[in-house]
Amino acid sequence: MPLKIYNTLTRKKEEFSSLKKGEVGIYVCGPTVYNFIHIGNARPFVVFEVVRRYFKYLGYKVKYVQNLTDIDDKMINKANELGITVQDLAQRFIKEYFTDTDSLNIERADIHPRATEHIPEIIHMVKNLEEKGFAYEVEGDVFFNVSKFKEYGKLSHQDIGELQSGARIKVDKRKKKAIDFALWKRAKEGEPNWESPWGNGRPGWHIECSVMSMKYLGKTFDIHAGGSDLIFPHHENEIAQSEAHNAQPFVKYWMHNGYLCLNNKKMSKSLGNIMKVREIREKYSGEVIRYFILSAHYRNPLDFSEEQLQQAQSSLQRLNNTIYNVKYLLQKDQLTNQKSESEKSILNTLTENKNKFMKAMNDDFNTPVALSWIFSLNKEVNNYLASEDLKNKEALQSIMEFYGELAGKILGIIKEENVKETIAEPEVQRLIDERQNARKEKNWKKADEIRDELKSFGITLEDTVQGVRWKKQ
């Protein structure tokens, strides 16, 4: 089954075809770095990172760009509130952002551009739009003239007339139309600002993403993604200014995830109903949070609850227990090369479930269905492990490869070290005893070699007066 993606622009699933054969360019709207991220913020970061992982698994060369908005009204207000500079605020919360995303097993983007590092490119684009008649300047502010872009509203599928009459935008009588949006903002006293042809000022929010995405992915690229709250006005405005600037299509596929809700209300800072990622992590691991996010289709709303997290934790525990038991058996000497009927059956099931997993992912990245095929196998594997027959090494290795590829590489719900060959506990104790004997004999080299060997399996040792303690990293 070919990969199909639901395109917000056309409102239908389309067969994916990249602009360059074997390559995919993806831009995901990143955080405005003025606070800790909440679980609603985390949803698109997890979901679209899985999209990236899946493309890589399919063999595509992926260029994945996620911006960091480090200048806007929220950042200025927060910095003033804390009595620090906007730059210091950005540095602090960029670090905190990566702390949280690392804990969710989210791989870093290939490029994390910052808005303030692209001011010359932003000024150039605004100037070009002004010269082409798509923008106008009023008292140091520059606005995009929406009425000049005839396709405005094509992403949100709204009529421009209706948008004008129902514009939820702060009234500025200097604009030609209420829906016109800022490309460049005149500097106010005490705000960060940069020199420009219109006087000192700073960029508008929408222009930042257009400039950064096109700089790293080209004037037209494959996928632009973000939360559904960004469809209008942010992404609509990105299309207008980018296509006016370049006179060519901006993005081929637009992807948007559904809201994450708390008590059936969208989770947002403005409503005060947020749950910060690091607060949740006090009780649940990053893998549990990630599993919870992937347990619903990315385009559907997802309701946050303690019960849902507990279910995710229980499911992951069962999966990790199975993986541990398979690894333990792989360490045993009593393995056979002969395949019994049960092993032939499980190898067939592996192939069938992998194909069904891929079919689900090819159907607009349907992660809940994909997960169901992982757990369908889990039940059969546990029955196989419970039998008293000698186990076939190839079958055990194939099971590990299945979990490693699908649950690990693609979905990222289990850590990489969980599916690597490990060492059984009796062997750990044997090596510790051997190291102790080496230390008694003052054979420090051998003792160090054994410590290093255990470390390679993720085992750390602590020498105490009560004896040697060990733990898995």
Tell me the CA distances in angstroms from 241 to 111, 129, 146, 392, 466, one per residue in order.
Answer: 23, 8, 9, 61, 69
27 touches 65 (CB < 8 A): yes
The pLDDT assigned to 417 comes to 66
SS (H, E, C) the chain: CCCEEEECCCCEEEECCCCECCEEEEEECCCECCCCCEHHHHHHHHHHHHHHHHHHHCCCEEEEEECEECCCHHHHHHHHHHCCCHHHHHHHHHHHHHHHHHHCCCCCCCECCEHHHHHHHHHHHHHHHHHCCCEEEECCEEEECHHHCCCCCCCCCCCHHHHHHCCCCCCCCCCCCCCCEEEEEECCCCCCCECCCCCCEEECHHHHHHHHHHHHHCCCEEEEEEEHHHHHHHHHHHHHHHHHHHCCCCEEEEEEECCEEECCEECCCCCCCCCEHHHHCCCCCHHHHHHHHHCCCCCCCEECCHHHHHHHHHHHHHHHHHHHHHHHHHCCCCEECCCCHHHHHHHHHHHHHHHHHHHHHHECCCHHHHHHHHHHHHHHHHHHHHCCCCEEHHHHHHHHHHHHHHHHHHCCCCCHHHHCCCCCHHHHHHHHHHHHHHHHCCCHHHHHHHHHHHHHCCEEEEEECCEEEEEEC
Contacts by 439-442, CB closer than 8 A, 24 or more apart:
none
The pLDDT assigned to 453 comes to 74
Q: How many CA atoms lie within 13 A of 397 on its CB side?
A: 8
The pLDDT assigned to 60 comes to 98
Task: Name, in order, each residue with C-beta under 8 angstroms of 249's C-beta and a sequence gap of 6 or more.
Answer: 220, 243
Pairing state between β 302-303 and 23-28: unpaired
Which residue stretches of the chain have pLDDT < 50?
165-168
Rg (C-alpha) for the chain, rounded Å, is 27
Measured distance CA(332)–CA(393) in Å, rounded: 10
Amino acid occupying residue 288 = V
The pTM of the whole model exceeds 0.85:
yes
Task: Name, in order, each residue with C-beta under 8 angstroms of 257's C-beta and a sequence gap of 6 or more.
Answer: 43, 44, 47, 48, 225, 226, 227, 228, 298, 299
Q: How many CA atoms lie within 13 A of 329 on its CB side?
A: 25
87 touches 338 (CB < 8 A): no
Neighbours of 146 (CB within 10 A): 26
Measured distance CA(163)–CA(152) in Å, rounded: 10
